[in-house]
Amino acid sequence: MSPILEVEDLYKRFPISGSRRYVQAINGVTFSVGAGETLGLVGESGSGKTTVGRCIVGLTELSAGRIRFKGEDISKPRARWPRHLLGKIQLVFQEPGESLDPRMRIGRSIEEPLLALKVPPSERRALVAEAIERVGLSREMLELYPAELSAGQQQRVAIARAMITSPELVVLDEPTSALDPTARAEIIALLMKIQAELGTAYLFISHDLSTVRFISHRVAVVYLGMIVEQGDVGEVFAAPRHPYSAGLLSAVLLPHPHFSLESSIRLEGEIPSPINLPQGCFLASRCPLAIARCRQEMPPPDNLGGGHMVHCFRHRDVASMDHASDTFAEFQREAERILAGQKTAGPVCNLGGTSNG
């Protein structure tokens, strides 16, 4: 897969009004997204993952670095992009209720991106009809206002609006965080169906790791504006090499009492302020494995092969602490058996048992 999006050494800092200091939101982020691929960007609030998304779609100006879309430079505000790239990269926000104009009918909202592309009205109507049906809503809904729709339906409309220009890349910024579990599952299924049909690439930004596990091909773990680990989603989830990834994963709670993504690594405290970045590795203050070196220098990226990259001096120790085990996949098999109404495999003795501590 040749990458369609390449982000190279991205930095972004926001000045704090009334002071000479900065919020250092992104601190050197490098990744790429292949055509038709989903890259999950996971991290906690304040990690800068949303800012990365906004920089890519040209809503936020970057402080340094380079973003290329199919080889063309787009590291500038959207207004100054080459014309033929407009509509090729779209964004879906977390709160559909806020991204849709409450005084605009659904049909008008979906149509809007086409206006900027100067699509003639006759074509627009056909495209809108196609778009709303693609997201599983009926054409009658085009006449409604956002307030008359459920949150899940609103998010479908937001997706229809993003998809109407046939984008090759969609940045999905926490598209399901505001939704109930059943509505969330429907939206995820819809996104996967669209990807299968149209081959759209996704940058899926989320703090919900289990959803990321199911929707992504690759995953990048963000901490304080840095990608600390990235790689194939199955590999990272089964054998995380960065203590932060391991800690983050161990906090995921699967709906089965016998499966947990446990780790001997436990993170203490909370994410530090992005105003005063710590010296050395950003995780050092919370990391149980931190050594003196971690507090002095930033670990360089270490390539583990197969696109698996990690920023940690002690990633080999992380690997040896926990056995690699794809608990997610094992849980999934077991849960599918339960849901099919079949008997479980007897008294399960902690199939996900990976802990040695």
Residue ranges binding another protein (CB under 8 A): 44-45, 138, 180-182, 184-186, 188-189, 192-193, 207, 209-211, 214-215, 247-248, 250-257, 260, 262, 267-271, 332, 335-336, 338-341, 343-344, 348, 355
Instruction: Identify the three-state secondary structure at position 40.
Output: strand
Q: Is 42 within 8 Å of 207 (Cβ atoms)?
A: yes
- 10: which strand partners? 29
Q: Which residues contact 334 (CB under 8 A, 6 or more apart)?
A: 256, 259, 344, 345, 348, 351
Cβ distance to another protein smaller for residue 110 or 188 = 188
Cβ distance to another protein smaller for residue 292 or 339 = 339
Angle, to 10 degrees, between the axis of helix 106-116 and the axis of helix 121-134? 120
Cβ 101 to another protein shortest distance, Å: 24
Which of 218, 228, 247 has its CA nearest to residue 306?
218
Distance CA(29)–CA(26), nearest Å, equals: 7
Cβ 185 to another protein shortest distance, Å: 4
Cβ 348 to another protein shortest distance, Å: 8
Cβ distance to another protein smaller for residue 111 or 186 = 186
- 68: which strand partners? 6, 73
Going by the DSSP 8-state scheme, the letter that residue 78 receives in this structure is G
Q: Is 128 within 8 Å of 142 (Cβ atoms)?
A: yes
Cβ 10 to another protein shortest distance, Å: 23
Going by the DSSP 8-state scheme, the letter that residue 301 receives in this structure is P
Cβ 251 to another protein shortest distance, Å: 4
Cβ distance to another protein smaller for residue 85 or 338 = 338
Cβ 184 to another protein shortest distance, Å: 7
Cβ distance to another protein smaller for residue 150 or 166 = 150
Cβ distance to another protein smaller for residue 105 or 207 = 207
